[in-house]
Amino acid sequence: MSYLIIGASSGLGRALAEKFAKEKKNLIIVSRDERDLTALKADIEIKYNVKVEKIPLDFSSFNEINQKLLKEKMFQNLSGILFPVGFMHEKDNFDISEEDLKKLTFTNYLSIVHTINYARKCLNKQKLSIVGFGSVSGLIGRNLNMNYAAAKRSLESFFESMSFDEKLKDMNIQFYTLGYLDTNLAFGKDLILPKGSTQKLAKIVYQNINVNLKKTFYPYFWNIIAVFLKLLPFLFLIKLYKILIK
């Protein structure tokens, strides 16, 4: 049995791959960059003596997902699927191109839903853990990364809906809404709030991989901030939000 990690080549995905391999779990790693995947596969196999399969593909393309990833035999031998995948664009506003809008929506939402729906059909009496990752950018609308934020909010809603589905008794559903992490996306940014450690989060995810119906923020202080933000009047909230998240 293996764990499938979508978006494994960098950031949180790489930290998850390292942690699960350290715990002697076989992996299937997926990312767009084949060179990075090849290097990660070799490094993990040497360090931890586990089996690693790499699948380079464009996760914004249903055609590539269908052709390279969605194979029934592979999904019947999975213990879990983790989705530390995301795509952001510097011009994510009303002027975004049709192609970039499609890429944002598919990578951050539709392709994840498509993969999960396929996984449901392939279950072979095994308990499958499904772990999704959202973003605090989806707490309220925003003028920056607006389509990314909307996709992440949709993803959270989808995971909530799965939790209510009694037909999904063979799945452990978990969702982490993320603030800034110590990745290249936060490098050089002037942040008021501290960044979360990808290594620490990977450890938390591993420790809870067999827990069902887990939904939380990371770093954890965002649990308090989220409640506070939802209690504020919308107009005041917009001004405060611009201060907290740049």
- Assign residue 203 the CATH number of its domain: 3.40.50.720
Q: How far is CA 221 from CA 7, 73, 179, 202, 218, in A?
A: 26, 41, 9, 17, 7
* DSSP class of 91: T
For residue 93, the model assigns a pLDDT of 82
Count of the separate structural domains present in the chain: 1
Structural domain including 177 reads 2-244
pLDDT, tens only, 176-219: 999 988 876 544 455 567 889 999 999 999 999 999 888 999 99
Helix (H) or strand (E) holding 204: helix 198-207
Under a CB-based contact definition with an 8 Å cutoff, are residues 129 and 210 in contact?
yes
* Residue 166: both structure tokens together: 């009694």
Distance between CA atoms of residues 25 and 207, nearest Å:
13
pLDDT, tens only, 70-115: 998 889 889 999 999 988 888 878 888 899 999 999 999 999 999 9
Q: How far is CA 63 from CA 29, 59, 79, 140, 164, in A?
A: 18, 9, 25, 32, 30
